[in-house]
A and B are shown apart, each in its own frame.
Chain A
Amino acid sequence: MAVSDLVLLEADHTRFASILDRLRHDSNAKVVFLIDKNGQQLATAGDLTGLDPTSLASLTAGNVAATDGLAKLLGEREFSILFHEGEHDNLHINVVSGKAILVVIFDERSSLGLVRLRVKKSTTELGTILDDIVARSQSQRASAVGSFAPFAEITDDDIDALFS
């Protein structure tokens, strides 16, 4: 495969969670998600009751991917911010370092201006962590030493057992 796998360590998740928690609190948001551009959920903050995070991550990634396609058609590098206004809840979507997507769900207890202000600061911090993760994955791949993959020692029996 031409691209590196994405490996999220517990320390990475803790750093993400801390930033998302603070963002949710400072922006009075309901829920904050961080997902990768392939639709995988990296971290969340807030009450997920009634929400399907897997579907949300996949649809948001598709939304951003389609928007990226539109941007290229128009000669733009990307449309880094999307905003969807609903009757009760609103969705603010922000691309972080070109690698991940920050989703903020908020209602009348917050405002678009406040969310955008708080997101701007968080984006910088999240981008730094993402850059570290990517650099680490690429370094691991290049050195081919100490692979993070937990599957280095799996057997064919392990795989067959999944289907039994």
Chain B
Amino acid sequence: MTFINYAAREINCKIVYYGPGLCGKTTNIQFIFDKTGAGAKGKLISLATESERTLFFDFLPIELGTIRGFRTRFHLYTVPGQVFYDASRKLILKGVDGIVFVADSQEARMDANVESIRNLKENLAEHGYSIDKVPYVLQLNKRDLPTAVAVPELVRALRFRNEPVFEAVASKGSGVFETLKAVVKGVLVDLKSR
């Protein structure tokens, strides 16, 4: 749910990074934080376990510039990917304006990717959203691993609405900002069309 603040001349949107456990959601956010200038980002909040698995969410506010006199601010969230944190994932999705699905390219994680997309659809529906309408981007992460499934096969299995697809190696930063730009653009175009 976009927040338009005329008093502060700001528009605030929420983007959620979704995907199975250990697929690279937090890694994406951390890279964005590391490479974004100090004036364009806020604090990176990570609510994680001692073993650095996301427990509740990661949160990073960034500002991209002004458009029509309004500062555009995006709140980036990640969800915990482990299966048993579904209740938390539902909470984080509330008010979402754009989604990045981070898929783990490893062959052993194909089932987890598919299940996570199914879970995303279900959780969105509970909030009254349709996964076919919310701005959505698919990132194929971990492209550098030897067990990575070929891109066409991944696309066949995971892409379902002709969404933009980006290959990435989030641990090295490759594809991270391209993905972010695509989902930001999707959110703004969606806003424009309302």
Number of residues on chain A facing chain B (CB within 8 A): 42
Contact B130 A2 (CB under 8 A): yes
CB distance from A99 to the nearest CB of B (A): 11
**Which of B7, B97, B134, B190 has the largest number of chain A CB atoms within 10 A?**
B7
A69 to B93, CA, bound (A): 13
Task: Determine the residue in chain A with the shortest Cβ distance to B9.
Answer: A150
* Chain A contacts with B in 76-92, Cβ cutoff 8 A: none
Interface string of A21-40 (1 = CB under 8 A from B): 00000000000000011111
Contact B94 A62 (CB under 8 A): no
Which of A38, A58, A154 has a CB less than 8 Å from the CB of B67? Answer: A154
A1 and B65 in contact, given A65-B91, A162-B72 (Cβ under 8 angstroms): no
Q: Determine the chain A residues whose CB is within 8 A of the CB of B67 once the complex forms.
A: 151, 154, 158-159, 161-162
A14 to B5, CA, bound (A): 12
Interface string of A149-164 (1 = CB under 8 A from B): 1111110101101110
A55 and B3 in contact, given A152-B192, A154-B68 (Cβ under 8 angstroms): no
Q: Tell me which of B41-49, B114-122, B150-158 binds A.
A: B41-49
Contact A150 B11 (CB under 8 A): yes
Task: Determine the residue in chain A with the shortest Cβ distance to B129.
Answer: A2
Contact B129 A149 (CB under 8 A): no
Q: Determine the chain A residues whose CB is within 8 A of the CB of B59 once the complex forms.
A: 39, 55, 58-59, 62
- B interface, by DSSP: helix, strand, loop or mixed? mixed
A9 and B6 in contact, given A54-B61, A151-B67, A162-B67 (Cβ under 8 angstroms): yes
> 21 A-B pairs, CB-CB below 8 angstroms?
A1-B1, A1-B190, A2-B128, A3-B95, A5-B3, A6-B2, A6-B4, A8-B3, A9-B7, A13-B5, A38-B3, A55-B42, A58-B61, A65-B92, A148-B6, A149-B192, A150-B4, A151-B11, A158-B68, A159-B188, A162-B188
| Interface residue ranges, B against A (CB under 8 Å) | 1-8, 11-12, 14, 42-43, 45, 47, 56-57, 59, 61, 64-65, 67-70, 72, 75, 87-88, 90-92, 94-95, 97, 127-130, 133-134, 181, 184-185, 188-192, 194
